[in-house]
Chains A and B, each alone.
Chain A
Amino acid sequence: MKIPIIGAYSTGFGDLWDKGMGDLLEEAGINALKSAGLTAKDVDAVYTANAFSSKISGHAPICSLCFERLGISSSVCISSGDASGAIAIKEAANLIMSGEAKYVLVIGAEKSTDLKTNEMLAVAQDTIDDKEELFIGATVQSQFAMITRKYMSDFRLSRDDMSFITINSHKNGMTNKFAQFRFELDVNKINSSAFIADPIKALDCSMYCDGASAIILCSSGAAEKSKRNVLGYLLGSGIASMPSPLSKRKSLTRIDSTADAAAEAYKKSGISPKDIGLIESYDLVPVSGIISIEDMGFAEKGKGIEFIKKHPQAVNQSGGLKSCGHAVGATGIRQAVDIIKRLKKNSIKYGISNTMNGTGSISAVNIFGA
């Protein structure tokens, strides 16, 4: 599998008060087309990714806006929670590989700040199981709090040890002008913030924000024929699921869906973890960022933090979800844009990204090459 990526664009992430969903799609879509030297007429299909628009604004699916704002008629909307963007990339690649399309625009967007924090947090709980989790008052954050406790106890780590992933993401995000939070954090600052779900603190959590990201995939034939400037390649994709309720899992500290999705992506790309120099992990909270690294095969269980300490620049060089902000539907595509941009710039051959819905009920992994 080797699908050329010829266009990429991300809006800045953050509190984008003066932009609505349509504006975000338009900005990301038009600029991605521009970077590819294409117009809307050249595009055979658009895959949009969005998690919560139906609950936030009542408008779903958002792909209908692509016709209004971009003039692209053939559009599909992927809504798989936090994994929406990464899954949309895989589906777009499948369309190209089937021969049905030459140019496909993949665009993810989320408009979170139309809701107040407590309302947005309630909406975001759509990503876990309604009967066994939501019904008893659990949240994504409280489930991750249990996972964090188990992880800390199994691998003899302190609360301060867990903070390293957040500190690292913030340090890396300082130089990313598209990131929402460009400031450094330290253990004291994290500890002095309020508890969200013990032991998870407010400054451990990534922020639901506004933003849109887009890439353009193209068939190898079309790229060669029209001599397109190829920014990078999609080399492998994997999607896998597991039960959302923690009670139905074999282990609390292993997310099988990530391991399965990564295995599929490695198989398709013919690449192994040792070839990869850039990793966008799913640092929604510290423990998810660490487990994401481990289950993609970069470190043994319990050694994720050591790996990040050894390779601080290789993990979440963009700033990750923590510093960039989490525009949920866009995040998987934002990771792709960041990886493609950074592979060439830093002469790195391969990069990998992971997003998972909720606490891992769906996980998606994409592998990119320069």
Chain B
Amino acid sequence: MTGIISYGAYIPKFRIKSEEIAKVQGHDPNYILKEILIEEKSVPSLDEDSMTMGFEASLNALKRVNIDRKRIGAVYSGSESPAYAVKPNASIIGEALGIGMDYTSADVEFACKAGTAAMQMVFGLSKSGFIDCGLAIGSDTAQSPPGDLIEHTSSAGAAAILVSNKEEEIIAKLEGMHSVSSDTPDFWRRPEEKYPQYAERFTGAPAYFKHVVQSAKELMKKTKTSPKDISHVAFHTPNGKFPLKAGSMLGFDKSQLESNLIVSKIGNTYSAASMMVLTHILDKAKEGERILLASFGSGAGSDAFLFSVTKSIKNLNKAKTTQEYIDNKEYISYGEYCKLTYL
């Protein structure tokens, strides 16, 4: 048995409105608001990067439970914007959390699904009994070419989950996992390039929808579940439109997909995105509810997980909720945005 025993999120407080970006770049703000459902996005401050945000999210996870930090035997961090090209975020976060040095760690990269790949690694080590507790982090300060439409979505945030195989501690039991991968060149960034490139419409049907729908479908088949057995769904959220469309393709209704719309207020937090939706769901989840998560990473792949919420969720300590982070904001101008993102 394995499952989530705690979780945490972190979102920087600065926000820039789509209207502000649209005004500078000459975009149609109605398209951004109504077609891709993005109102504003988070912006990291000068002293924030994927490592500091990953640390904050992990700290929130540790605040919710009273465990001996030395129990953590693995820290995996997923990001496509690591603080260093060579030097892991994971070991800096582990050190800062004070978990000693008897743990394994590594940084993971798979575009926007690096965080869920880290989750799988921790679940595997935990279920096999190699570790007692493990930490998986997804964190990104996403980059986008100025003037491109993805400038409205690329944002910053982190999410972390703490995993254990002790039944009494588990708040969301892992019922199953399924992943799909393929060589699909929908979005990429080469070494030394400042901004990613993407293949426009190719990022939709043959990339996001094909992989997300397939991983979720296969997982439901494996676990003998159907949309009606599931209370909440967390997808990767490149914008507001994609998760809603993937959900309707799979037969989920709007109420099951509600948490995905946090993207409208914070943007696409890349490696953190689907995990961020999961933290938003866990903040309100009740015993007996089932949660389906399907991430998406360009390149391309999707990791799907099915969780069932246990009664232990009531025993968690208080920590800042994802909604509190979403609501704690300060708007900035495009000029300030340029300064903060070194444009």
Contacts and interface: CB of A to CB of B under 8 A. Distances in A.
Binding between chains A and B: yes
B28 A116 contact: no
Given A17-B205, A18-B206, 13 more contacts: A15-B201, A15-B202, A15-B205, A17-B202, A17-B206, A113-B201, A113-B202, A116-B197, A116-B199, A116-B200, A117-B200, A192-B28, A194-B28
Size category, B interface: under 10
A17 B207 CA distance: 11
Interface in B88-105: none
Nearest to A113: B202
A255 to B, nearest CB: 32
Interface in A87-135: 113, 116-117
Interface of B: 28, 197, 199-202, 205-206
A110 B206 CA distance: 20
Contacts of A116: 197, 199-200
Interface in A175-224: 192, 194
A116 B200 CA distance: 7
Interface of B is mostly: helix
Interface in A1-40: 15, 17-18
Contacts of B206: 17-18
A194 B28 CA distance: 8
A189 B47 CA distance: 45
A326 to B, nearest CB: 16
Nearest to A115: B199
Interface residues of A, number: 8
Nearest to A194: B28
A253 B205 CA distance: 41
B113 to A, nearest CB: 21
A307 to B, nearest CB: 34
Contacts of B199: 116
Nearest to B207: A17
Contacts of B197: 116
Contacts of A117: 200
Contacts of B205: 15, 17
Contacts of A194: 28
B197 to A, nearest CB: 8
Contacts of B200: 116-117
15 contacts: A15-B201, A15-B202, A15-B205, A17-B202, A17-B205, A17-B206, A18-B206, A113-B201, A113-B202, A116-B197, A116-B199, A116-B200, A117-B200, A192-B28, A194-B28
Contacts of A15: 201-202, 205
A14 to B, nearest CB: 10
A325 to B, nearest CB: 13
Nearest to B202: A17
A192 B202 CA distance: 24
A17 B201 CA distance: 10
A15 B28 CA distance: 25
Contacts of B202: 15, 17, 113
A330 B235 CA distance: 40
A18 B199 CA distance: 14
A357 to B, nearest CB: 26
Contacts of B201: 15, 113
Nearest to B26: A194
A272 to B, nearest CB: 44
A192 B31 CA distance: 10
A117 B203 CA distance: 13
A203 to B, nearest CB: 13
A223 to B, nearest CB: 43
B210 to A, nearest CB: 10
Among B28, B197, B199, which residue has the most Cβ atoms of chain A within 10 A? B199
A117 B202 CA distance: 11
A75 B205 CA distance: 36
Contacts of B28: 192, 194
Contacts of A18: 206
Nearest to A17: B206
